Structure 1
Amino acid sequence: MDPITAATHADPYSYYAQLRAEGGLFFHQGLKLWVASSASAVAAVLAHPDCHVRPDAEPVPKAIANGMAGKVFGQLMRMNEGERQCCPRSAIQPGLQWIDPQQAEALVAARLITPGADGIQAAMFRGPVCVVAALLGYAPAQGRIIAELTADFVACLSPLSTPAQLATAHTAAEQLSGYFVELLDEQADQSPLLAGIRQRFASSSASNETLIANLIGLLSQTYDATAGLIGNAVLALIANPSLRHDALCIDDLIAEVQRFDPSVQNTRRFVAAPCEIQGVHLNRGDVILVLLASANRDPQLNENPDAFLLHRPDRRSCTFGAGRHQCPGQMLAMGIAGATLRQILAVNPVLDRLDWDYRPSLNGRVPAFKDLPVA
């Protein structure tokens, strides 16, 4: 195991504890990068102005740079710094924070969730994207298409994707852009969320192209991370059968799952200028692997961190990032995850017939479920 392959290991958390014991920020000789494993080191890296989300020499991954997926990627607020990050964020974040949780709950409840592993998988991946599509003004039938295209597009975000998957991602980016052009061309804004985003974009210098790219980004961010949060909540209930009772507070469960076993295990930062972090000198071009999941289990951040506690006092988590790149949709993601888990439990009162492994990933911890054979 190493700090990257740990993301999909059956239990990476004792290994993360070993890494924290080596020092909060240290150089990993095998991976040839720096590793931030402690809560203080992770916080310092995420807050440092010279730690960027992309290397200066490669703002868009070479594998997609010459296609439509790369064009979208290059305009995403979470893949940029400065004005190219702040402007889209200031337009999108307020609307996400104002969404009525009951509206998201109703949209989840309106979707048909079928029993078994296939039903759970569909609820995890397609369901949250359909909810966000509906909040943006798409009809249910359109939302299902949008969810399929988003599934194809997110392949461009993984270094593990095949050439065929990347080609499909370029096509999906083209089609998603077309759907948003049509939506934005409609005379009346039926979606308060989209209307607010458009109004705030209009008062900025950002182009319509940037608006569309970041609406696609909103869908793609919803896809894997929310799916993992839902799936890992299901795993928490399988591992802790005593939690499965009528008095279970799903919102408390989701809050603890995103700390205890997060879907996003790590992220990266690229040093843009010589700097010093926690007494360590870093050079321009250095790469830092930021172990968010390890920080969540640091005793300096949470008391008794390896215990799964529904009613944890002063729960703290790095899962959604921090500072200028903190996820703007945290509350929406947790609300959708909680609502989806309630629906899954309504049709799957027995979870012991499920098996799973983790989807291949360098940073995500997202279970893939399958039904156990009937004896």
Structure 2
Amino acid sequence: MIFARLMRMNEGPQHMCPRMAIEPALVAVETERIAGLVARLVETLPVEHLDELMFTVPVCVIAALIGFPPSHLQDVARLTRDFVACLSPLSDDIQLDSAHGAATRLRQLFSALLSDANDSSRFLSHVQSACAATAWRDREALIANLIGLLSQTCEASAGLIGNSLVALHREPGLLEGGQQVADLVAEVARYDSPVQNTRRFVTQQCNIEGNVLAPGDTVLLLLASANRDPGANPEPDRCLLERTQRRTFSFGAGRHQCPGQSLALAIAAEAVSAWLRRQPAASVGAFRWRYLPSLNGRIPRFHGDRDTQR
């Protein structure tokens, strides 16, 4: 029931209230806070391996902003990782069972958090004020969409962090000459998008470029291909950190523009910076990687065995 309530999956009237409540809270997050938060998490969480940093730190950042105490962050990250398995048709029965249990536990944690009115975070206070202003009281839908924030952060942010480090492996000089990690992450979001495609579902007959689509049809949107459109980005097949007027479709566009784009880029940039402070950029070449099986994501998994083929 979580998936059906997600605001990002529908534009119906019942999905507008969570959008109106949560989007302003996301936009209001001060990205300047992210550097300190990431630094604290990297120091306090057991993220000795790159994969752990990729899949744990971004979710913990969002969970901390929402208001979970430090003692809950690792559990929330682990449960979110289990939950996202239910979003993939490639998951097996064991993963789906684990995802169901994770969804149940996440719902319990969020229910307890929302019930503690005396200890609301700035983010939750913003959300709850918007709910009151619009007289929206669907608690289950709110919980579903807060879980959705974590699930959207999980693999997409891991992919953005990982693909940024892959770019450094392939072009070690990218950060020379005064280029910033934030520029690297912003360009990688376009050049090697962690979200390669998304889907839209037709609700009434329409015509797109001479093709008649019927209700129930599915439209596959190739976001990564749009990022490489030379009409949108000159020299699209080059990774140019100094690119001006960069157009990135990885976060959607128009009504489906992700309101957390700036936040996601900031989290990924700070996570990459934290890793490079631990491991110099030259050490990225010591890693090898394989990409996770996925129908829409491009997410590397790293290991240090030089003898294993990518």
2:77 alignment partner in structure 1: 147
Contact 2:27 2:260 in 1 (8 A): yes
Q: Decide which of 289, 293, 300 is 1:360's aligned counterpart.
A: 293
Unaligned residue ranges in structure 1 (runs of 5+):
1-70
Give ranges in structure 2 of 5+ residues lacking alignment: none
**1:111-135 deviation digits (Å, cap 9, x = unpaired):** 2369xx9621111111001011111
The 3 A distance-change label for structure 1 pair 368 and 183 is same
For the 8 Å contact 1:113–1:344, the answer to whether it is kept is no
Could you say if the C-alpha distance between residues 224 and 76 of structure 1 is closer, same or farther in structure 2, counting changes exceeding 3 Å?
Answer: same
Q: Which structure has more helix as a fraction of its residues?
A: 2
Partners of 1:107 and 1:131 within 8 A in 2: yes
The CA deviation at 1:373 is 4.5
Query: Percent identity among equivalent residues?
Result: 49
Tell me the equivalent position of 1:334: 265
1:132 aligns with 2:65: no
Comparing 200-209 with 124-133, which one deviates more in the overlay?
200-209
**Which deviations, in whole Å up to 9, do the C-alpha atoms of 1:16-50 show, x marking residues without a partner?**
xxxxxxxxxxxxxxxxxxxxxxxxxxxxxxxxxxx
Q: Return structure 1 stretches of 4+ with deviation > 6 angstroms.
A: none
Q: Once structures 1 and 2 are overlaid, which stretch shifts more, 328-337 or 316-325? A: 316-325
Q: Secondary structure at the match of 1:112?
A: helix
Task: Give the structure 1 partner of residue 230 of structure 2.
Answer: 299
- What amino acid sits opposite 2:31 in the alignment? P
1:297 maps to a residue whose letter is R
Q: Mark the CA change 1:187 to 1:85 in structure 2 (over 3 Å): closer, same or farther.
A: closer
Deviation larger for 186-195 or 170-179: 186-195
Equivalent in the alignment of 1:372: 305
Residue 214 (str. 1) matches residue 142 (str. 2):
no
**Corresponding position of 2:131:** 201
- In the other structure, the counterpart of 1:16 is none
The alpha-carbon deviation at position 280 of structure 1 amounts to 2.3
Residues 248-291 of structure 1: CA distance to partner in whole angstroms, max 9, x if unpaired? Answer: 31111111000101000011112222111123222222222110
Q: Which letter maps to 1:249?
A: Q
Q: Does 1:77 align with 2:15?
A: no
CA RMSD across the alignment: 1.7
Residues 54-93 of structure 1: pairs in structure 2 closer than 5 A: 71-93=1-23
Q: Which position in structure 2 is the counterpart of 1:186?
A: 116
Distance change >3 Å, CA 246–CA 139, structure 1 → 2: farther
Residue 286 of structure 1 aligns with which residue? 217
- Calculate the TM-score normalised by the size of structure 2: 0.93
- AA in 2 matched with 1:307: R
Q: 2:94 aligns with which of 164, 171, 177?
A: 164
1:243 to 174, 191, 194: 174
Q: Note closer, same or farther for the CA distance 1:246–1:118 as it changes in structure 2 (3 Å cut).
A: farther
Cα deviations across residues 193-227 of structure 1 (Å, max 9, x unaligned)?
A: 01111111233334111111111001111101111
TM-score scaled by structure 1? 0.77
Matched, 1:232 2:163: yes
- Counterpart secondary structure, 2:41: coil
Give 1:29's aligned residue.
Answer: none
Distance across 1 between alignment mates of 2:27 and 2:96:
33
- Between 1 and 2, higher relative CO (CA 8 Å, sep ≥ 6) is seen in 1
Match of 1:96 in 2: 26
